[in-house]
């Protein structure tokens, strides 16, 4: 059984057409290789309001994982974690900590993880390498997290 996933690329450059969505495509490849079905990909501009609205829309009637890529650094418009914090109902610090540990530059990522309604949300960096390394660090436990969220008892 495939699990559902959605990808939200947060990038003023991709929206403006001056940058390709390489991280979104790289995440899609990893998810599909790990038995996830990417049911939607979306792009939004940086900024708290844009990201928050996109996450709320993506989570509507959705059971699965939503991965955001971009907006986790120290740039002025890097506000993906703030938007995510504004809506998550349960924080998942173990996931964000595991993602940060995969690479020394991970210490500069402010990405968070948590649940909103029936979706697990993960913030990963905007670079293809950072995004894929972070997802690979936690992809093995995402199915179990989704089972727990659906009320299934651990084995």
CA distances from 14 to 5, 35, 64, 108 (A): 21, 27, 25, 22
pLDDT over 90, % of the chain: 90
CA distances from 77 to 13, 28, 48, 56 (A): 12, 25, 8, 19
pLDDT for 24: 98
- Domain range for 129 is 3-149
Q: pLDDT per residue over 1-51, tens digit each? A: 789 999 999 999 999 999 999 999 999 999 999 999 999 999 999 999 999
pLDDT over 70, % of the chain: 98
Residue 116 β-bridge partners: 119
Q: Tokens 């998550």, residue?
A: 88
Say which CATH number the domain at 30 has. Answer: 3.40.980.10
pLDDT class for 107, splitting at 50, 70, 90?
confident
Q: Tokens 């038995």, residue?
A: 35
Return mean pLDDT, the chain: 95
pLDDT for 93: 97
Is residue 43 domain-resident?
yes
Is residue 59 domain-resident?
yes
pTM to 2 decimals?
0.96
State the Cα–Cα distance between residues 79 and 50, nearest whole angstrom. 10
Structure token pair of residue 153? 């008892």
Residue 155 predicted with pLDDT over 60: no
Residue 91 β-bridge partners: 114
Is residue 39 domain-resident?
yes
Q: pLDDT per residue over 65-79, tens digit each? A: 999 999 999 999 999
Question: Cβ distance 55 to 12 under 8 Å?
Answer: no
Mean pLDDT of 72-95: 96
Is residue 97 domain-resident?
yes
pLDDT for 153: 65
Domains in the chain: how many in total?
1
Residue 62 predicted with pLDDT over 70: yes
CA distances from 130 to 24, 66, 93, 103, 106 (A): 12, 17, 18, 8, 8
At residue 28's C-alpha, the angle toward residues 110 and 31, to 5°, is: 85
């Amino acid at each position: 059984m495939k699990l559902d996933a959605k990808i939200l690329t947060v990038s003023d450059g991709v929206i403006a057409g001056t940058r390709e969505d390489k991280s979104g495509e790289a995440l899609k490849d990893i998810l599909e290789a790990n038995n996830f079905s990417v049911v939607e990909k979306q792009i939004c501009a940086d900024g708290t309001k844009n990201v928050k609205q996109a996450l709320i829309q993506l989570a509507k009637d959705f059971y699965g994982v939503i991965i955001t890529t971009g907006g986790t650094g120290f740039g002025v418009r890097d506000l993906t974690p703030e938007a995510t914090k504004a809506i998550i109902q349960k924080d998942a610090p173990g996931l964000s900590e595991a993602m940060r540990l995969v690479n020394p530059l991970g210490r500069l990522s402010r990405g968070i993880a948590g649940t909103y309604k029936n979706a697990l949300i993960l913030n990963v960096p905007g670079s293809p390498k950072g995004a894929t390394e972070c997802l690979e660090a936690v992809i093995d436990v995402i199915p179990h997290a989704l089972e727990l969220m659906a009320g299934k008892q651990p084995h």
